[in-house]
Chain A
């Protein structure tokens, strides 16, 4: 992750950007665009292209609204995050249900990792998420845990996964599908509600 907390210079940087300093705004963009993209927009939208579009819209809106922005101790990230969520919400409204089929997982991320209202909390959120996932994987059938670990956590190819599980590649699809279902059921059994309701995440 780029930044862990607002730097002492961030207030000055924001003040310069508010005064119209394009270079200062560029620094804010380079600092926070990757964080918003990875931890806010892709989870809500589930699609890199849509996240790129919303990222651009977010910073256009930020540039427009910056003169009215009031500095807070948490830095500018929470404000940018709210703008990004608003842009993602607008995009989802326009896209309708299609967005849900693209693999949005913001609800699941908050359910397992908790909320992250600051840059520092993003690290904590991801650490909590990994911990929760390991706990859930430990409750699954070893074969399901293995396919989820290899194929999704480690991004191994289908051939590698099939070889590791000693099954055919075609069979791997079934195992992966069943493993995803089993993972969700295990989450629900652990009383971690994974309601597919974006309204609880997107303001």
Chain B
């Protein structure tokens, strides 16, 4: 071929080993392009390199790479499941709180219905107990007052007897 120009003094450089790194092939093609006195994008030539290398031996994942990939995915699924669980908890908690708030608002906002008042029975019990206690307390108070009056009377009589000097 006429375009197969051979440079008079090729620039020596370390030879890259066959590698999957595209940059190594780009370097190799770039060196050839430079020696051929050309410049510009190497994308078309790199595509041919990729195509022919694929035709020779398609890139492969070895067993260790497959397993490492799966374990990374497995961990990602676990993390995602954990996030989803937390999110469900948050949503459920918010829902429960909203429901309770709605119940409170409805009950507070509604006119009181004596028939539906759950404290009514308790209030009646307390009133009955208070009535009993009040009666007993009043009785104790009367007795106390009477006892104190009697005591005072005895003290006054004794005092007057002492002043009169035995006058009957």
Interface residues of B in 55-98 (CB under 8 A from A): 55-61, 65-66, 69-70, 72-74, 76-77
Q: Are A155 and B51 in contact (CB under 8 A)?
A: no
Query: Do most interface residues of chain B lie in helix, strand or loop, or is the interface mixed?
Result: helix
Q: Are A43 and B36 in contact (CB under 8 A)?
A: no
Smallest CB separation, A58 vs chain B (Å) = 10
* A-chain residues with CB within 8 Å of residue B48 when the two chains form the complex: 105, 108, 180, 183-184
Say if the beta carbon of B128 comes within 8 Å of chain A.
Answer: no
Q: Are A152 and B49 in contact (CB under 8 A)?
A: yes
Contact of B77 among A51, A63, A101, A196 (CB under 8 A): A63
* A-chain residues with CB within 8 Å of residue B15 when the two chains form the complex: 157-159, 169
Say if the beta carbon of B41 comes within 8 Å of chain A.
Answer: yes
Interface residues of A in 163-199 (CB under 8 A from B): 167-178, 180-184, 194, 196
Tally of B interface residues using CB under 8 Å: 55
Q: Are B44 and A174 in contact (CB under 8 A)?
A: no
* A-chain residues with CB within 8 Å of residue B61 when the two chains form the complex: 33-34, 37-38
Contact of B22 among A103, A152, A158, A173 (CB under 8 A): A103
Say if the beta carbon of B100 comes within 8 Å of chain A.
Answer: no
Q: Are A103 and B25 in contact (CB under 8 A)?
A: yes
Q: Are B42 and A22 in contact (CB under 8 A)?
A: no
Measured between alpha carbons, how far is A119 from B21 in the docked complex, in Å? 27
CB-based nearest A residue for B67: A30
Q: Are A29 and B70 in contact (CB under 8 A)?
A: yes
Q: Are B46 and A102 in contact (CB under 8 A)?
A: yes
From known contacts A100-B43, A108-B48, infer whether A129 and B55 are also in contact, taking CB-CB under 8 Å. Answer: yes
Tally of A interface residues using CB under 8 Å: 66
From known contacts A101-B46, A133-B55, A171-B6, infer whether A29 and B73 are also in contact, taking CB-CB under 8 Å. Answer: yes
Q: Are A174 and B58 in contact (CB under 8 A)?
A: no
* A-chain residues with CB within 8 Å of residue B45 when the two chains form the complex: 177, 180-181, 184
Q: Are A176 and B29 in contact (CB under 8 A)?
A: yes
* B-chain residues with CB within 8 Å of residue A155 when the two chains form the complex: 18, 53, 56-57
Measured between alpha carbons, how far is A155 from B17 in the docked complex, in Å? 10
Interface centre among B10, B18, B52, B60, by most A CB within 10 Å?
B52
Contact of B59 among A33, A37, A133, A178 (CB under 8 A): A37
Smallest CB separation, A67 vs chain B (Å) = 13
Measured between alpha carbons, how far is A93 from B152 in the docked complex, in Å? 109
Q: Are A56 and B69 in contact (CB under 8 A)?
A: yes
Q: List 12 A-B contacts (CB under 8 A).
A: A22-B74, A38-B59, A52-B65, A56-B72, A101-B22, A102-B46, A133-B51, A141-B1, A144-B4, A174-B10, A183-B52, A194-B44
Cβ-closest 8 pairs across A and B: A170-B10, A177-B32, A173-B32, A152-B52, A153-B56, A105-B50, A103-B50, A180-B45
